[in-house]
């Protein structure tokens, strides 16, 4: 947490009055900043501005070091749980065998279960470009196989010597 992200504490608070919550979580009410600081010093803790946007700002009496530690721990835990979506690619050919296509579709389903997006590309070489409809039929079979397990983010689109489609988890 950088200095600018941290809440203001004690003498940094520059409001005329504040809404105060004591160290036990009880609402004290609207008091002056000086009164809040005095109450915090009585129990050996800090006056921390929790909600600066409120009118008057909400401040709480607590141990600022412990508060900062808990906030860092929470941020670290949130980063750990974050899933980065990757784009996996499956390459097909228009002359792919039925069994080979089934195996590739199993891989696509595994990627989707992990939460990743999958780019399915159909590459054409040489004279295969004359028979693009064969590749389109294969991709139609792929769409039929995957329709219940994913959402199609990009329908098959021709780009040069290949046809590309994107699918993502539901």
* 64-87 core/surface letters (b: 16 or more CB in 10 A; e: else): beebeeeeeeeeeeeeeeeeeeee
Q: How far apart are CA 157 and CA 110, in angstroms?
A: 24
User: How do residues 102-117 score in pLDDT, each as one tens digit?
Assistant: 999 999 999 988 888 9
Give the chain's domain count. 2
Domain endpoint, select from 52, 78, 104: 78
Phi-psi region of 44 (alpha: psi -120 to 50; beta: other; left: phi over 0): left
- Residue 62: domain span: 10-78
SS3 96: coil
Where do runs of H (alpha helix) occur along 8-55? 33-42
Residue 102's pLDDT is 92
Q: Is residue 4 part of a domain?
A: no
Residue 1 domain flag: no
Tell me: pLDDT of 1 over 80: no
Pairing of strands 162-169, 150-159: antiparallel
Identify whether residues 112 and 152 lie together within a single domain.
yes
> Whole-angstrom Cα distance, residue 125 to residue 127?
6
What is the arithmetic mean of pLDDT over 147-162?
88
Report whether pLDDT(2) > 70.
no
One domain, residues 40 and 104: no
Of the three residues 78, 97, 130, the one that is the final residue of a domain is 78
For residue 93, tell me if it sits in a domain.
Answer: yes
Same domain assignment for residues 30 and 97: no
- Measured CA to CA, the distance from residue 14 to residue 39 in angstroms comes to 17
Task: Tell me the pLDDT band of 123, cut-offs 50, 70 and 90.
Answer: very high
| Residue 3 in domain | no
pLDDT at 115: 85
For residue 94, is it within any domain?
yes
Confidence at residue 164, expressed as pLDDT on a 0 to 100 scale:
92
107 and 61 in a common domain: no
Q: What is the domain-level CATH number for residue 69?
A: 3.10.20.80
pLDDT of 166 > 90? The answer is yes
The dihedral over CA atoms of 103, 109, 115, 120, expressed in degrees to the nearest 10, equals 60
Q: Are residues 46 and 102 in the same domain?
A: no
Q: Is the pLDDT of residue 99 over 90?
A: yes
Give pLDDT, residue 90.
92
Residue 162 sits in a domain whose CATH number is 3.30.110.10
| Domain stops at, among 78, 106, 127 | 78
**C-alpha torsion angle, residues 82, 77, 25, 32 (rounded to 10):** -80
In which band, very low, low, confident or very high, does the pLDDT at 37 lie, cut at 50, 70 and 90?
confident
């Amino acid at each position: 947490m950088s200095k600018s992200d941290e809440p203001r504490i004690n003498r940094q608070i520059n409001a005329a009055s504040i809404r105060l919550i004591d160290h036990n979580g009880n609402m004290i009410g609207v008091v002056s900043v000086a009164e809040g600081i005095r109450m915090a010093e009585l129990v050996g803790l800090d006056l921390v501005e929790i909600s600066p946007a409120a009118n008057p700002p909400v401040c709480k009496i607590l141990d600022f070091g412990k508060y900062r530690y808990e906030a860092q721990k929470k941020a670290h835990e949130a980063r750990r749980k974050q899933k980065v979506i990757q784009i996996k690619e499956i390459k097909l050919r228009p002359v792919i065998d039925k069994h080979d296509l089934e195996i590739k579709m199993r891989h696509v389903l595994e990627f989707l279960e992990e939460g990743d997006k999958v780019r399915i590309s159909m590459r054409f070489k040489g004279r295969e470009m004359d028979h693009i409809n064969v590749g389109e039929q294969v991709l139609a079979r792929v769409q039929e196989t995957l329709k219940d397990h994913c959402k199609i983010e990009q329908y098959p689109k021709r780009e040069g010597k290949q046809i590309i489609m994107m699918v993502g988890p539901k």
